[in-house]
């Protein structure tokens, strides 16, 4: 009996120590993500002056001597590093709420960031198409500031919708759901579900990030703070709507500035 009790206690101690190992790995991943983001911000900071008085990042164009595959791979590495740096601080508490072992939590984290990586593929495709249109048609390039202002206003308006509140509550809950959470799912799929809920919840902040400049450190930090505040602070509705008001005001200012030129 004593041997069984000792074995049970040692197993319990091992189970208790596992989340600490996961937290350590997450800390290292966060540092690596921040470091890689800083590197990419410096190496991909070049911008091209465009008709209409705006600048376009060179990351949407194929670099000389590189194939499109190489350019896309570089973008996705940058995107993944940025998402780890921005999303991990707010996602970690949700992972820990599940009270699972380190191996299970690691698979959940992999699934979570796999969703964000896949989203980067879509964002890159849209960015490349947008850049090609702006390079080809001058008239389109001249209305880009107006489109940017409209996108910011739309992102701000989204923050007031019921869909935003529903996805935000799901994102703040383990497994990306508020009720009827799955009990028999693989850890990777649960991580994917959490990542999907988080991506939908962060549609507006992600739009703001892309519009204002993904390679701007101040924009990155500001959007990361908004996302963390929405997920972690007690009144999520207030934070979401405050960010929405800020985005709408910024969008209106951008539009009025273009119209007054």
DSSP per residue, the chain:
-HHHHHHHHHHHHHHHHHHHHHHHHHHHHHHHHHHHHHHHHHHT--EEEETTTEEEEGGGSPPTT--HHHHHHHHHHHHHHHHHHHHHHHHHHHHHHT---HHHHHHHHHHHHHHHHHHHHHHHHHHHHHHHHHHH-HHHHHTHHHHHHHHHHHHHHHTTSHHHHHHHHHHHSGGG-SSS--SS--HHHHHHHHHHHHHHHTHHHHHHHHHH-TT-HHHHHHHHHHHHHHHHSS-HHHHHHHHHHHHHHHHHHHHHHHHT-
The pLDDT value given to residue 139: 92
The pLDDT value given to residue 8: 42
Alpha-carbon separation of residue 204 from 34, 146, 217, 241 (angstroms): 22, 18, 18, 11
Question: Can you tell me the mean pLDDT for 69-97?
Answer: 92
How far apart, in Å, do the first and last CA atoms of the chain sit?
A: 84
Least confident piece of the model among 5-9, 167-171, 202-206: 5-9
The pLDDT value given to residue 4: 44
- Return the closest-CA partner of residue 128 out of 224, 190, 56, 219: 56
Higher pLDDT, 55 or 15: 55
pLDDT digits (tens, 9 = 90+) for 47-80: 888 888 888 888 888 877 778 899 899 999 999 9
pLDDT band at 178 (very low <50, low <70, confident <90, very high): very low
* Contact yes or no for 93/45 (Cβ under 8 A): no
What is the spatial distance between Cα 41 and Cα 145, in angstroms, rounded to a whole number? 22
Question: Can you tell me the mean pLDDT for 15-32?
Answer: 81
- Return the closest-CA partner of residue 127 out of 57, 205, 224: 57
Phi, psi angle pair for 181, to nearest 5°: -70, 145
Q: Is residue 105 predicted with pLDDT exceeding 50?
A: yes
The pLDDT value given to residue 33: 96
What is the spatial distance between Cα 214 and Cα 207, in angstroms, rounded to a whole number? 10
Give the max Cα distance, the chain. 84
Q: Is residue 7 predicted with pLDDT exceeding 80?
A: no
pLDDT band at 9 (very low <50, low <70, confident <90, very high): very low
The pLDDT value given to residue 180: 53
What is the spatial distance between Cα 20 and Cα 102, in angstroms, rounded to a whole number? 8
The pLDDT value given to residue 184: 63
The pLDDT value given to residue 83: 96
The pLDDT value given to residue 175: 64
Q: Residue 50 pairs with which residues in a beta bridge?
A: 54
Q: Is residue 246 predicted with pLDDT exceeding 90?
A: yes
The pLDDT value given to residue 258: 74
Q: Residue 24 pairs with which residues in a beta bridge?
A: none
The mean pLDDT value of the chain amounts to: 85
- Return the closest-CA partner of residue 150 out of 66, 207, 108, 225: 207
pLDDT band at 86 (very low <50, low <70, confident <90, very high): very high
Q: Residue 48 pairs with which residues in a beta bridge?
A: 56
Phi, psi angle pair for 48, to nearest 5°: -110, 130
pLDDT digits (tens, 9 = 90+) for 130-172: 999 999 999 999 999 999 999 999 999 999 999 898 888 878 7
Q: Is residue 185 predicted with pLDDT exceeding 90?
A: no
The pLDDT value given to residue 176: 60
């Amino acid at each position: 009996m004593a041997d069984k009790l000792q074995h049970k206690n040692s197993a319990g101690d091992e189970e208790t120590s596992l989340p600490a190992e996961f937290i350590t790995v997450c800390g290292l991943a966060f540092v690596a993500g921040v470091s890689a983001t800083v590197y990419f911000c410096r190496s991909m900071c070049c911008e091209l002056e465009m008709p209409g008085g705006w600048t376009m990042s060179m990351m949407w164009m194929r670099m000389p001597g590189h194939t499109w595959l190489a350019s896309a791979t570089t973008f996705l590495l940058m995107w993944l590093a940025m998402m780890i740096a921005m999303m991990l601080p707010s996602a970690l508490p949700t992972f820990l709420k599940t009270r699972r072992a380190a191996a299970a939590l690691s698979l959940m984290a992999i699934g979570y960031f796999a969703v964000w990586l896949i989203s980067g593929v879509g964002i890159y495709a849209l960015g490349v198409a947008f850049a090609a249109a702006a390079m080809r048609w001058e008239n389109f390039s001249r209305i880009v500031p107006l489109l940017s202002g409209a996108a910011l206003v739309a992102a701000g308006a989204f923050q007031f919708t019921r869909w935003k509140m529903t996805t935000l509550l799901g994102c703040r809950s383990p497994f990306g759901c508020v009720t009827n959470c799955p009990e028999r799912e693989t850890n990777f799929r649960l991580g994917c579900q959490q990542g999907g809920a988080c991506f939908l919840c962060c549609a507006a902040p992600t739009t703001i990030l892309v519009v204002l400049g993904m390679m701007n450190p101040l924009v990155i930090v500001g959007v990361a703070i908004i996302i963390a505040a929405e997920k972690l602070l007690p009144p999520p509705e207030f934070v979401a709507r405050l960010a929405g008001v800020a985005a709408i005001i910024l969008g209106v200012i951008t539009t009025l500035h273009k119209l007054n030129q």
